[in-house]
Structures are given as structure tokens and as C-alpha cells.
A and B are shown apart, each in its own frame.
Chain A
Amino acid sequence: MAEPVLVPGLELCLSIGVLSTVILVRLAVSLHPYSGEGQPPMYGDYEAQRHWMEITYNLPIHEWYENTTDNRLQYWGLDYPPLTAYHSWLCGAVASRINPSWVSLHLSRGFESYHHKLFMRYTVLAVDVLVYFTAAVVFSRLVYRNKDAMWERISLLGLLLLTPALIIIDHGHFQYNCASLGLTFWAIIAVTTDHNVTGSVLFALALNYKQMELYHAVPFFCYLLGKSVAGSGSGGEFLKRVGLLGVAVGGTFVACWFPFLGSWDQTLQVVHRLFPFARGLYEDKVANVWCSLSVLVKLRRLFSLSTLVKVTAVSTVTALVPSSWNLYETPPLSDSSWPWLTPPSSSSCSRTKSTRSRFSWHSSPAPSSPLTTLTSSPGSSYWQSSPCTLSSPRTDWFWHAAP
């Protein structure tokens, strides 16, 4: 059979087909119950998000993270960084325009309705499309720049957007991981195309959306540090580069945290909300080392909280060293043909290693980043991105061996 002739409209039609299919899958998953549906008194993550819209829309900003009469922190108190809070405020503003009873202070607790569910689901979809989809499209075109690589582009796009974990957690269980993951995705695109400052700002924004992105922080740091070292002729130039990045990141943090920098107590309170060590070694069930070990050895009973915090910190850092060192050593972009392959894979490597040894996480972490689907072998990449995956070191060799 003759080879099909590639026509300009063909890739557009196929891309539209793929994008609309992945949206369809999300819409279909959205039909199903969300976390805590119909389960008073606490409900679940969906109610948590709705409650944050209620709190942020109705209360002044300095009360968002404080335990007050209007804001009882035991009932789904805010425990994500400020960017999530601002996003909740925006959604709350839209919600109150449509139907004020969705976010009325105190009265809307446990509110559930057909249209409210649709509204909430559509907020997730909107973020997904605006942030995550756009990153995926740009990324697939970046990886396969060759005009003839149409099928590879289409396949990668489909693979990136069909990761079951992200769909199930964001559009089923109900969360906004697509926001922070999407921002990280854009950050990766930026730093691997030499837009280091933009990338740093984007990643800082991702961090300020969900503190879980700390999993990816060390790889970013090491990669940018390595690039700055390699790309600088002199010590002065190095300091300038690093300084610029520092200012960018610092500035982003200040901008996001600005309303909470009024007093030291206020800032600390937010930090306490973000890192609740008191919750313990792990919550519910999670596919990591501590939870698995605890089946045989009851770690929580044998050791004190402070000991466990120190142990997990040391083990996480130790596990991160190999890939971080490798990132630092990575040659600059101008040299290798697929240089962008290494940092994300190490980032995913660090991410999975961090999951294994990180202190205190429960079962709804960010899905094993779809960033791991950077491969010419869709099979292994899909295996990698299955929920709570633990990537084997052997697969990491595959990344580095890729042409």
C-alpha cells in the first residue's frame, strides 16, 4: 500500500480529534461521584475545595489561614499555598455570580447539587485545558520538530493527556493537580529551551500552588545550577546568572505571599498549615517505603515523631543525591540533540524516589508525573506513568541511553 501523503490539514484534524477525545474521557469520568459525595459530615476533597471558595470569597485575606470563629480550621482548613487560595477566590467569585448559595458563608457547608457539581467539574476542566493541555501541545511539537514526525507528535500528545492517574484524581476524585503539574510542565519547557528565568518563575508559581511540587524542586535547582556553571565563563558571570534566577524566584515568592508577610506569626501560621508534621509518617494508604514497611514493622509505634521526621529527611536527601549530581553534570543545551530528556527524567526519578521516602503524604499525591513519557517507546513510558508507580533504575538507564 502506498504511503499516505501528509496534507497540511491532516495533522490539524488529527490533533483536534485527539484533544476532543481526551476531553471526552474527562467529561465522562466527571459524571461519576466525586470524593465524599453524599457522605456527611466531612464529605471529601470536593467539599474541601468548595469550602475554600467559600472562605476566600467571604473572609478578608488575613483570616484565610487563621483559626477564627468564621473559619474553623478543623473543617477543611486551607493547607495549600497562597496561589491555590487566590484561585479558590476567583472560582468563588464566579460561583457567587451564578448561584450565591454555593458559597454563602457557613450556610453552604456540605452543599451538593447537580449544577454545582457541573460548575466544580468545569473549573477543573478549564484549568486542565488552559494550563496542562497547552503545555502538552507545545511539548509534543518541541520534542518532534521534524515535519514528518506527525504520528510521533500525535501519539505523544495523546499519551501525555490520557494518563489515567491525572484524569481519575483530578476529574474523578476531584483535585486541581493539573494546575501545579501544568505549571511545572511549562517550567520544564522553558528551562530546556534556555528560558531559565521564565522557567524559574513558572516553577516558583507551581510551588506556590501546591507544596507537593517540592518533589521537583531539587532537580530544578541542580539543573539550573549546573547550567549556570557550564554556561558561565567567569565567576562574575556565574554570580550574575544565579543572582538573576534567585531574584526571579524570590520575587515570585514575595508576590504570592505578600498579604501574609505582615507579621512573622502570620507567615509561620501559613507554613504550619502547609507542612503538618503532626499528621504523622503517612495517612491512609500510599505506595511508598514507609507505608509498605509498616505492614511488617510498625514504625509509627516504635519511633517518636521527631525521630521519624529526621529519618525521612535523611533518606530523602540521600536518595536524591545520585540523580541530582547527574543533573548538575548535564552538558548544556547547545551540545546534545536530546538534552531536555535528562532533566525531566531525573526530575521524575527524584519524584518517585521522594515519594518513596518522603515524610507524610497520603494517597492523593500528584500522579507520577506524565513528564516521564519522554520516550520513543510509548509502552515503557505508559508503564511508568501508571498510578503510584515506582520506577526501576533500569528504566532510568534507558533514558540516558536514548539517542
Chain B
Amino acid sequence: MSLSQTTITSTVVFAVATCLKLLLIPSYHSTDFEVHRNWLALTHSLPPSEWYYEETSKWTLDYPPFFAWFEWVLSWLAAVADPNIVKIDNLDYGAPSCVLFQRISVIMSDLVLLYAVIQYCKWKKFDGDLQSFVISALVLLNTGLLLVDHIHFQYNGFLYGILLLSIVKMLQQKHVQAAGLFALLLNLKHIYIYVAPAFFVYLLKHHCFSSTTSGSTRRFLHVKFIELAAVVVCIFTLSFGPFIYYGQLSQVLSRLFPFKRGLCHAYWAPNFWTLYSALDILLATIGFSPGEGGSMTSGIVGEMKLQVLPSIPPVLTLILTATATMPSLMKLWKKHNTCGLDFLHCLILCGYASFMFGWHVHEKAIMMVTMPMCLLAMEDGRLWRIFTILSTAAHISLFPLLFNTAEKLIKVFLFVPYIMMALTSSTLLKGNHLLQWELKSLDVVYTAGCVLVQIYCLFIHGVGGYLSYLEFLPLLFTSVTCALGVTWTWFLTITLYLAT
């Protein structure tokens, strides 16, 4: 089968996805829309020396410099489309031209993701159209991507494209390119630091140490290490250099790593701390003596203070994350004959650990686990099962992001086809016996549970004023049920990885 066939398949899937994204242009967009419009305005109107000081709008620049440059490039196109977009004082500008421009910029930037998928399919050398179709569909029509990027509004598509591309380069053993791409990514959005340990350990082992036949010791290859370090340092210098020159490094870093109150974001990400907070609420409701003040019974959305269980300092989250990541990193370092897929598996586990124990984690960060998992899932039937359960939990956890009435049904019907695709793909790819798996009864019970909870949250709660004073209740239910799924799949993934 010719390679160009995979390109055609992926491109067709991308075209279909684009049609859907275009149809979704008029849907609800969050304040992130204004955030990016503001960044277009300030990068266009001000010199770089003022970018990280500009405060006319409360949505100040808090991404690394390369993203600011990306906005700068876009701003010139925006100025052509509608000069009003790039006026700093034009706060909350929401004219159709602005919406159209920004939406289309997100859609176009997804081309990077398409490129990454094509490269992956070419590397895999699939012997059938169906496999490249499945991978393309899982990535390019990813529910999370559509919900977050094309409705809520963000630019995750091309960022995950760069991440997947760097993974592909790693699989192709092009270590320097992979490192360079990852460094580029870190300078676009620093949240990808979640998965940096996997890169570091794998590159150290495979690039900086000579490969061995069993028995002989490995030599540290100074030249290769310097080569790698040089590329990474170069990229960081390009990024932060100008701001170090201006003497603004501390300001930039304070913007990138702001001190945030609260263990949990206003909408709880489905991680360990959600379960911890839910337990706290349960204990408080049962009647254990409350600790510090702050009540849950007011029911309003906001920062939750723990009442019974001890409060968690930020440094503890760092320690727990590191502890959770250690076993996978050790395995990656010690295992003989590691290959690119081990790296991918470890990368996913790093993402998991950071998500589970991180401080003030956003629910959107679950995509750092689900997107790479799309590539790994096809390797093994057990991984496919994990992927399906994770996709259910992860995408349902994103539902609270879109809270308007029109999007209620849309998010459900963005989710259902994706899960059906995940469920059916492994059966369709049964040529590869590794992919055979069957739904276990626990999987069905969990999925049914999630569905029932969502039926309550979407169609019963608040209808006709039913329990509407308990605003936080559906969010609590959603977060807890999804957290159970995420935690469970994390255990499954980690045991699978450590057992090989």
C-alpha cells in the first residue's frame, strides 16, 4: 500500500473535521476568546519590552514568549481582517469578523496536528486504510479538542501537534529533532513541563549513553550530550533572550508561574484532590466537627476550603507528583531494550501523575494524557480498553466547561460518536490479534454510572428550579465520577507498564 494513501485518508478526515468546526463557529466561546484577542492586540500595538507589563485588560499575557510571537504573527492577519480586533482598549470585542477570524485561526493551526498524524501513520507503515483512518479520526476528531479548542476556544490543536510530532521523532530515533521540538513546545505553553521528565530520562539514556551489548558498561557520550543541550539552550535563549536583555526575566516568570490560591480550580479537575475534597465534604456532611471555616452548604461555585481533612500545602503536591512519577522513570531508565513506545508509555504516565497530584490543575490538562494515548492504544488490546474508559471519563469531565443550554446536547453528541468509534475500532482491526479485548462488566457498570450521573446533571438538575440552589452539586457529581475513572485507568496503565 503506497504511503500517499495514508496521507489522503488523514487529509479527508481533517477535511471532515474542518467542516464540523466551521459549523461550530457560532457556538458559545469562553473568556479565553477575549484573552487571545487581548494578546493579539497587545502584541500588535506594543513593543516586546512591554508585553509582559501590559495590564489594561485583566487577561494579562501568561504564556511563554514563543506564544506571544505566534500571536504577533496572527495579529498582522487580524489587522487586515478587522483593525478593531487589535486595539488594546477594545475590550470584549465580539463582532462577527473577530469571531470568524479567531475561530478560523484555530482551525488553520490544526494543520500542524494533521501533519503530526500523517508522520505517525507513515512511521507505523500501516498495511490497511482502516488503521490510518482510525488513528486520524481519534486524533483529529478528538472530542476534547473539539470541545476545548473549537467551542470553548483555545489553541491546543497545534500544540498537541508539536507534542505528537516530537513523539514521532523520538520513535524514529531522531533524538535531537525530538528534543528541539519539545523545547519549542515548552516555550509555547509551559504546562507541557508535566511530561518533561520522560523526555529527559529517555534522551539521557538513549542519546547520551552509548548503546551496549549485554554485559558491557555504557559510556557517557559527552559530545552527544552537549549537542542535545546546545539545541535546547539555543531555543530557550531565542525565547527568553530578549526579555533577559530587558531585565524582565523575573516579571516574565511571575506571569508564567503565578501564585494561585486553591488546591482545586473552580471546576474540579477529576484528579486525586477531587476525591480528597469530596471525602472532606462527605465527612463534613455526616457530621464530623468542621475544621476551618468556609462552608459547602452555601453551594455556590468558588474556592472550596477543606473542613475536616488537613489542608494541603503546594509543596506536598510537588512531592507526591515526583513520587508518583518515580517508578515509571526508573523503569524507563533501567529496562533493557527500551524503544520509542516505552517512552510514549512513560510520557503518558508522567502526564497522569502530574494531573493526579498537581496544584490547581485545570480539567483541560487531561488531554495531555488522552492525546498521546490515542497513539499508544493501538498497540495492545488492554491499552485499548484503558483508552476507551479514559476517553469516557476525560471527555465527560470537560462537559462543565460548556454550560450554556445550546451546548448541552452538542457536547453529548460530540462525545457519543467518539466513544462508539473507540469501541468499534478494536473489533474492526481484529486482523491484529493483540487488539482483541472484550468489555468487562465493570467497564459497563462504570460507563452506565457516568451516563446516569450526566442525565441527572444535564437534564434534571435545575430544571424547573429543582435543587438549583445547590449550584455545585452537578459539578461535584461529574468531577467525582470522572476522577474515579481517571484514577482507575491510571492504576491500570501503571501496572501494565511496570509489569512488562
Instruction: List chain A positions with a Cβ less than 8 A from chain B.
Output: 1-2, 4-5, 7, 10, 13-14, 16-18, 20-21, 23-25, 27-32, 114-115, 118
Given contacts A13-B420, A30-B406, 11 further A-B contacts (CB under 8 A): A4-B429, A7-B427, A10-B424, A17-B417, A17-B420, A21-B417, A24-B414, A25-B20, A32-B23, A32-B26, A114-B406
From A23, A31, A118, give the contact of B413 (CB < 8 A): A23
Q: Is the CB of B427 within 8 A of A5?
A: yes
Q: Is B204 an interface residue, CB under 8 A from the partner?
A: no
From B405, B423, B431, give the contact of A13 (CB < 8 A): B423
Q: In whole angstroms, what is the CA distance A14 to B420 when docked?
A: 7
Given A1-B127, A10-B427, A29-B23, the answer on whether A17 and B421 have CB atoms closer than 8 Å is yes
Min distance, Cβ B139 to any Cβ of chain A, angstroms: 17
Chain B contacts of A18 at CB under 8 A? 417
Q: In whole angstroms, what is the CA distance A30 to B427 when docked?
A: 34
Q: Is the CB of B413 within 8 A of A20?
A: yes
Q: Is the CB of B406 within 8 A of A20?
A: no
Chain A contacts of B20 at CB under 8 A? 24-25, 28
Instruction: List chain B positions with a Cβ less than 8 A from chain A.
Output: 20, 23-24, 26-27, 127-128, 405-406, 409-410, 413-414, 416-417, 420-421, 423-424, 427-431
Q: Is the CB of B427 within 8 A of A4?
A: yes
Q: In whole angstroms, what is the CA distance A23 to B417 when docked?
A: 10
Min distance, Cβ B352 to any Cβ of chain A, angstroms: 27
Q: Is the CB of A2 within 8 A of B24?
A: no
Q: In whole angstroms, what is the CA distance A10 to B427 when docked?
A: 8
Chain A contacts of B421 at CB under 8 A? 17
Min distance, Cβ B1 to any Cβ of chain A, angstroms: 10
Q: Is the CB of A28 within 8 A of B24?
A: yes
From A1, A7, A115, give the contact of B128 (CB < 8 A): A1
Q: Is the CB of B431 within 8 A of A1?
A: yes
Given A28-B24, A118-B406, the answer on whether A4 and B428 have CB atoms closer than 8 Å is yes
Q: In whole angstroms, what is the CA distance A18 to B416 when docked?
A: 10
Chain B contacts of A7 at CB under 8 A? 427
Interface of A is mostly: helix
Q: In whole angstroms, what is the CA distance A7 to B436 when docked?
A: 12
Q: Is the CB of A25 within 8 A of B420?
A: no
Q: In whole angstroms, what is the CA distance A30 to B410 when docked?
A: 10
Chain B contacts of A10 at CB under 8 A? 424, 427-428
Q: In whole angstroms, what is the CA distance A7 to B406 when docked?
A: 36
Chain B contacts of A23 at CB under 8 A? 409, 413
What are 30 A-B pairs with beta-carbon distances under 8 A? A2-B430, A4-B428, A4-B430, A4-B431, A5-B427, A5-B430, A10-B424, A10-B428, A13-B423, A16-B416, A16-B420, A17-B416, A17-B420, A17-B421, A18-B417, A20-B413, A21-B413, A21-B417, A23-B409, A24-B410, A24-B417, A27-B409, A27-B410, A28-B20, A28-B23, A28-B410, A31-B23, A31-B27, A114-B405, A118-B405
Q: In whole angstroms, what is the CA distance A31 to B407 when docked?
A: 9
Closest to B439 in A: A9
Q: In whole angstroms, what is the CA distance A7 to B24 when docked?
A: 34
Min distance, Cβ A377 to any Cβ of chain B, angstroms: 19
Q: Across the A-B interface, give the 7 residue pairs with the lowest CB-CB distance, nearest first.
A: A17-B420, A28-B23, A1-B431, A20-B416, A24-B413, A2-B431, A31-B26
Chain A contacts of B23 at CB under 8 A? 25, 28-29, 31-32
Closest to A20 in B: B416
From B24, B423, B428, give the contact of A31 (CB < 8 A): B24
Closest to B428 in A: A4
Chain A contacts of B26 at CB under 8 A? 31-32
Chain A contacts of B406 at CB under 8 A? 30-31, 114, 118
Min distance, Cβ B27 to any Cβ of chain A, angstroms: 5
Closest to A98 in B: B464
Q: In whole angstroms, what is the CA distance A21 to B141 when docked?
A: 12
Min distance, Cβ B273 to any Cβ of chain A, angstroms: 33
Min distance, Cβ A295 to any Cβ of chain B, angstroms: 32
Min distance, Cβ A159 to any Cβ of chain B, angstroms: 15
Min distance, Cβ B381 to any Cβ of chain A, angstroms: 14
Chain A contacts of B424 at CB under 8 A? 10, 13-14, 17
Closest to A26 in B: B413
Closest to B429 in A: A4
Chain B contacts of A27 at CB under 8 A? 409-410, 413
Closest to A3 in B: B431
With a 10 A CB-CB cut-off, give which of A4, A24, A30 has the most chain B CB atoms: A24
Closest to A11 in B: B424
Q: In whole angstroms, what is the CA distance A7 to B429 when docked?
A: 12
Chain B contacts of A2 at CB under 8 A? 430-431
Q: Is the CB of A20 within 8 A of B417?
A: yes
With a 10 A CB-CB cut-off, give which of B23, B414, B423 has the most chain A CB atoms: B23
Min distance, Cβ A3 to any Cβ of chain B, angstroms: 8
Chain A contacts of B24 at CB under 8 A? 28, 31
Q: In whole angstroms, what is the CA distance A342 to B20 when docked?
A: 35
Min distance, Cβ B185 to any Cβ of chain A, angstroms: 31
Chain A contacts of B431 at CB under 8 A? 1-2, 4
Q: In whole angstroms, what is the CA distance A20 to B413 when docked?
A: 6
Chain B contacts of A29 at CB under 8 A? 23
